[in-house]
Structures are given as structure tokens and as C-alpha cells.
Amino acid sequence: MTGPATIGAAQAEADTRRWLERAVIGLNLCPFAKAVHVKGQIHYAVYEPAEEPDLMDTLLAQAKELVALDAAVRDTTLLIAPNALPDFLDFNDFTARAERRLARAGFDGVLQLASFHPRFQFAGTEAEDIGNATNRAPYPTLHLLREDSVSRAVEAFPEAEEIFERNIERLEALGAEGWARLDVGPGSAKP
């Protein structure tokens, strides 16, 4: 008996780029994403193993690489783990541990960590609530953002606090069928 097929780095990156272009940028879920995407300032890193033990070290290494480079070269990093942490609660626990490790490593006030997961679910919602799609990506993904870049983006966007509410409204208007038509799930892109 064999387990599930392993997702390779090329497929994981292609699917994540497709999700970013069609959902995040296409639906304007994050008004700050388009500029860094167009400028080629997003770094895609893929952690292929199914086991998580080295994922934390990989995240810390990616954080060090990010801050070592000028923001004009690399403004943000998406660390995609297509074969690890398939359970959302396990992923959520890992994300909390990762935030603490990043802070202990000296990245507090320098980097922020955002998280995306194919089964992302906000507290107090049902799994099928379309609003959860704001944080759903094809694979478990840890997003490292520079605090300075986030601050500049929020200052430039007059109603940044309203982004979440607008995203929920946009997704509710789109509905589950509309989200499915975006075709932004695993295996949707050609590597």
C-alpha cells in the first residue's frame, strides 16, 4: 500500500503562483501583493518533506536570507510545505511555535508571519464558510513579511483596517462555486 503522492517543488510553486495571481491579486484580497509580484520581489521557497522537524529550521533560514537582502531585491518570502502539516490544527499550532521562534531569533519588530492553509478556518466559523478562503492556499504556506514594508503599505492604503471586511463581502458575493471556478487548488497549474 502506498501513501499519497509527494508534491514536488515545481508543482507547489506553480500552484502557489497561480493562486496568488488569480485569487490574492485577481480578487484584490491583498492590495499590496500586486506591486511586489510585478517587481519580482516575492521569493518562493518549497519545503518538500512530509515530516515537519526541519521545517522550523528552514523557516529561520528563509528569515535570515530575507533580512540579508535589500527589500528591492526580495521584499517577502512564501515558504510552501506541500507535503507537511495537512491538518489545519497542527499547522496552526506550528505557526504559533514559529512566531515564538522567530521572536527568540531576533526577528520581532523586523518580520511578521502570516499563514495560509487549504483548510484554513477562522475561529467561530464553519469549515465551509466562504470567508475562510481569504486565508486558503493550495498548500500549507508560511508568509514572511518585512515589518517596514507592511507599515509603508498600510500608511499608503487609507482604510487598511477595512480590507478584511471587504474580502469577506467579495468572497460571499463570489460564493463557493465562483471560488471553485478560479481553479486555484493543488495541481491546477502546469509547472
Q: List Cβ neighbours of 123 (8 Å cut-off, separation of 6 or more).
A: none
**Total count of domains within the chain:** 1
**Is 103 a domain residue?**
yes
> What's residue 4's pLDDT?
64
pLDDT digits (tens, 9 = 90+) for 62-101: 999 999 999 999 999 999 999 999 999 999 999 999 999 9
**Rounded CA gap, 140 and 75, in Å?**
20
State which H helix or E strand residue 155 sits in.
helix 147-156
Residue 189 in any domain: the answer is no
Radius of gyration for the alpha carbons in the chain, expressed in angstroms and rounded: 16
The answer to the question of residue 126 being in a domain is yes
Q: Is residue 74 part of a domain?
A: yes
- Can you tell me the mean pLDDT for 137-148? 97
Domain containing 107 equals 27-144+157-182
Q: Averaged over 147-169, what is the pLDDT?
A: 83
In a domain, 149, yes or no: no
Q: Is residue 19 part of a domain?
A: no
Q: Answer yes or no: is 15 within a domain.
A: no
CA 165 to chain centre: 19
6 occurs within a structural domain: no
Arithmetic mean of pLDDT over the chain: 93
> At 48, which amino acid appears?
E
